[in-house]
């Protein structure tokens, strides 16, 4: 079999033309398309990596901001709690102080009311004490007490007259004795103190445990009843003075 070189040449030419056509219209566009796709994929990968990096950065920033907000919220909560506790403690202390002041005012008012009540009742109590004392003295055996008051009364009369026993010798002394006294015993006591004065004795039922002496217009009463009466007057006077001072302070 002989090789037809003409046919071979034409076949080679046809193959070359085909390759040129394929390269021009098929391989080159496909290669460019593949390169374009490769560039797009690379660009997409770059964009994806950039987006991932930005996303991670945003996530880290968000988490950091979230931690900051949580810390700020906790700080605000702690501060609010501390302020609330401080306010509560201040309110409690203020309430306690108000209670203490109210209690002090109440105690002061109570004490003032008690004092005022006692001051109002004081004259009655003093009068009752005086009456009870008089009744007690009236029920007691006051013979020796009357003699003691008689001696005191005689000394007081002598001092009031500025005289001694010799000066009283010519003076007329009238003596009223309480019913509970022994007239003879009282007479002896008076004579021992007043000397040889003109002594006139009589009984006065209003006297309690003592005597009343009169000489030269000078009157001296020395008795348990008189002492009790002086005590009553002093107490009533003191009570009135305290009441006047209280009214002056209140006004």
pLDDT digits (tens, 9 = 90+) for 22-67: 777 777 777 888 888 888 888 888 888 888 888 888 888 888 888 8
Q: Is residue 21 part of a domain?
A: yes
Q: Is residue 8 part of a domain?
A: yes
Where does a domain end: 32, 64, 98?
98
What's the pLDDT score for residue 163? 57
Q: Is residue 154 part of a domain?
A: yes
CATH number, domain at 186? 3.30.2320
How many percent of the chain have pLDDT more than 70? Answer: 73
Distance of alpha carbon 201 from alpha carbon 126, whole angstroms: 33
More confident residue, 208 or 167: 208
Where does a domain end: 48, 82, 98?
98
Packed helices 224-250 and 28-139: angle between N→C axes, nearest 10 degrees? 150
What's the pLDDT score for residue 247? 46
Hey, which of 4-8, 39-43, 203-207, 232-236 has the most confident mean pLDDT?
39-43
Q: Is residue 70 part of a domain?
A: yes
More confident residue, 23 or 75: 75
- What is the per-residue burial (b if ≥16 Cβ within 10 Å, else e) of 157-180? bbeebebeeeebeebebebbbbeb
What's the pLDDT score for residue 118? 61
Show the domain range for 42.
1-98
> 134 pLDDT band (50/70/90 cuts)?
low
Supply φ then ψ for residue 129, to 5 degrees: -65, -40
- Number of compact structural domains in the chain: 2
Q: Is residue 110 part of a domain?
A: no
Rg (CA), the chain: 66
Q: Are residues 228 and 153 in the same domain?
A: yes
Q: Are residues 92 and 10 in the same domain?
A: yes
Around 247, how many Cα atoms within 13 Å sit in the side-chain half-sphere? 7
Q: Are residues 145 and 238 in the same domain?
A: yes
The mean pLDDT value for 4-32 works out to: 77
Q: Is residue 129 part of a domain?
A: no
pTM over the 0.75 mark:
no
More confident residue, 163 or 113: 113
What's the pLDDT score for residue 56? 87
What's the pLDDT score for residue 251? 47
């Amino acid at each position: 079999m002989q090789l037809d070189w003409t046919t071979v040449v034409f076949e080679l030419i046809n193959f070359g033309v085909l390759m040129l056509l394929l390269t021009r219209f098929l391989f080159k566009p496909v290669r460019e398309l593949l390169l374009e796709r490769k560039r797009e994929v690379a660009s997409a990968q770059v964009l994806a990596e950039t987006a991932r990096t930005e996303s991670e950065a945003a996530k880290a920033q968000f988490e950091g901001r979230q931690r900051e907000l949580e810390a700020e919220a906790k700080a605000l909560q702690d501060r609010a709690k501390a302020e609330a506790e401080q306010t509560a403690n201040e309110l409690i202390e203020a309430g306690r102080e108000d209670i203490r002041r109210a209690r002090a005012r109440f105690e002061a008012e109570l004490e003032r009311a008690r004092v005022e009540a006692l001051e109002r009742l004081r004259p009655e109590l003093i009068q009752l004490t005086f009456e009870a004392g008089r009744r007690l003295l009236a029920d007691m055996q006051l013979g020796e007490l009357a003699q003691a008051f008689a001696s005191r009364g005689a000394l007081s009369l002598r001092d009031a007259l500025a005289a001694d026993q010799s000066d009283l010798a010519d003076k007329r002394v009238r003596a009223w004795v309480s019913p509970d006294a022994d007239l003879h015993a009282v007479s002896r006591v008076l004579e021992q103190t007043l000397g040889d004065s003109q002594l006139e004795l009589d009984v006065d039922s209003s006297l309690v445990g003592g005597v009343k002496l009169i000489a030269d217009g000078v009157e001296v009463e020395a008795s348990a009843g008189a002492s009790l009466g002086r005590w009553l007057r002093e107490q009533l006077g003191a009570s009135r003075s305290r009441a006047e001072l209280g009214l002056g302070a209140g006004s």
